Structure 1
Amino acid sequence: MNLRSEPRRCVIFGSGESRGAAYSPRIGDILIAADGGYNALRRRKLRPDWVIGDFDSLGFVPKGKNVRVVPREKDDPDLILAIRCGLEAGCREFALYGATGTRFDHSYANVLALRYLREQGALGRIVTPDAELFVMISERVDFPAEERGKLSIFSLSERSLGVTLSGLKYPLADRTLTAREWLGLSNEFTGVAASISVRDGTLLVVKHADWVE
């Protein structure tokens, strides 16, 4: 898994908090506003390729041929519908902004969306003002020596087997983590190349660049 590869990317802005979250546009990005994410893009003076939602958060329906209005009563929330559109467009890398905020249930659903993306063979990450979240499934992720900050890992599987952390302040070797423990909370980069690997299972990784407890 190479989080720094650059395939065509889908960037989605949701209704949560995205102020202060760094976004560097790439040529070829597909930019989608999910409901209230439309205002977030307007604040950044960015024009979305698509706008999707029931617009209960935004409070009005934007005008344009690229606007898709969906019912309020539906199985998938607006941000998930935006993800599906990105997948249909052939995107295999996703950056989700405004995917966390005041409602924990929506934030957690968006974490589950990261797992859904990885199961579809896509790379997804949630970007907040001070953190980046991503999911890894039975694979390895490498970090350069220049990486700084803290990170935490949690098992989204009932059991994640063969979890190994190297180059971090608190290493692990071939450890089993369960969904009922927090052993992976608050690890740290140490100025050397680091890696996380899991032989069989699903991990949520939360990486904080400048987080202070």
Structure 2
Amino acid sequence: MNRYLVVTGGTVSKKVLETVLSDYDFQKIIACDKGLEICQECDILPDLVIGDFDSAKTDIVASYREKTEFLDLDTHKDFTDTHVAISYILEQEIRPDEVILVGATGTRMDHTLANIGLLKQFAEFGISAYLIDEHNRITMTAHQHIVKRTDAYRYVSLLPYTEQVTGVTLQGFYYNAQGLTLKLGESIGVSNELIAECGLIEFESGLLIVIESRD
């Protein structure tokens, strides 16, 4: 599988990044701005570094300058560093099958919500993409999705990203469903649990956010 890792500038612990690196094989690693700091802490050499570097420590950025490729951005830009990284990925001649993003959530709720929204671009191209932090694994899908049972995540929540997600059918969950409509602004899809080894999520139209949570 052709898989990319994006390490961006939100909250990411050394434990989370090292776990992701041990659980997955990556063909390319991209660091965005302050994400370079945790890369240094974990002794990771990204294949590409993207950013305007308004938040990363100057000495750390300088130490990577001659080691790898840089895409320098203007501080006064229209899009976030993470957005530019996603655009770069989608512009590749051979796009990845899967993208993992760490550091995409944290105390900046504006950045967290924007990064969840950026998953829409991957969903529309049929690329699996996940935001992973210490407590959650988040994806967005425009088609059916399979959730595998794991000790790492107890709850599975479904939230519509579009005005509504129609014809939702759930199999393998504590709360199964047939032909359900999930509407934006409602919470009916929150805190479900798997009772089978795999849970199947199918729906007819819309974009669906799937959040697996530890606690």
What corresponds to 2:48 in structure 1? 50
Q: Which structure dedicates a bigger proportion of its chain to helix?
A: 2
**In structure 2, which of residues 20, 24, 34 is the aligned counterpart of residue 23 of structure 1?**
20
* Contact 2:37 2:57 (8 Å CA) reproduced: no
Asked if 1:13 corresponds to 2:13, the answer is no
Q: What is the CA distance between 1:145 and its match in structure 2?
A: 5.3
Instruction: Go from structure 1 to structure 2 and tell me whether the alpha carbon gap of 1:71 and 1:146 turns closer, same or farther (over 3 Å shift).
Output: closer
How do 1:1-213 and structure 2 match up within 5 A? 7-19=1-13, 20-21=15-16, 22-24=19-21, 26-27=24-25, 29-60=27-58, 61-62=61-62, 63-64=65-66, 66-89=69-92, 90-137=95-142, 139-144=143-148, 149-208=154-213, 210-211=214-215
What code does the residue aligned with 2:141 have?
M
TM-score (normalised: structure 1): 0.88
* Contact 1:146 1:191 (8 Å CA) reproduced: no
* Contact 2:5 2:26 (8 Å CA) reproduced: no
What code does the residue aligned with 2:175 have?
Y
Distance 2:202 2:35 in 1: 34
In angstroms, what is the RMSD of aligned CA positions?
1.8
**SS of corresponding position for 1:101:** coil
**SS of corresponding position for 1:42:** helix
**SS of corresponding position for 2:21:** coil
Q: What is the CA distance between 1:123 and its match in structure 2?
A: 1.5
Q: What is the CA distance between 1:28 and its match in structure 2?
A: 5.0
Distance 2:173 2:3 in 1: 29
**SS of corresponding position for 2:20:** coil
Q: What is the CA distance between 1:182 and its match in structure 2?
A: 0.8
* Contact 2:169 2:202 (8 Å CA) reproduced: yes
What code does the residue aligned with 1:143 have?
V
Distance 2:129 2:170 in 1: 21
% identical equivalent positions = 28
TM-score (normalised: structure 2): 0.88
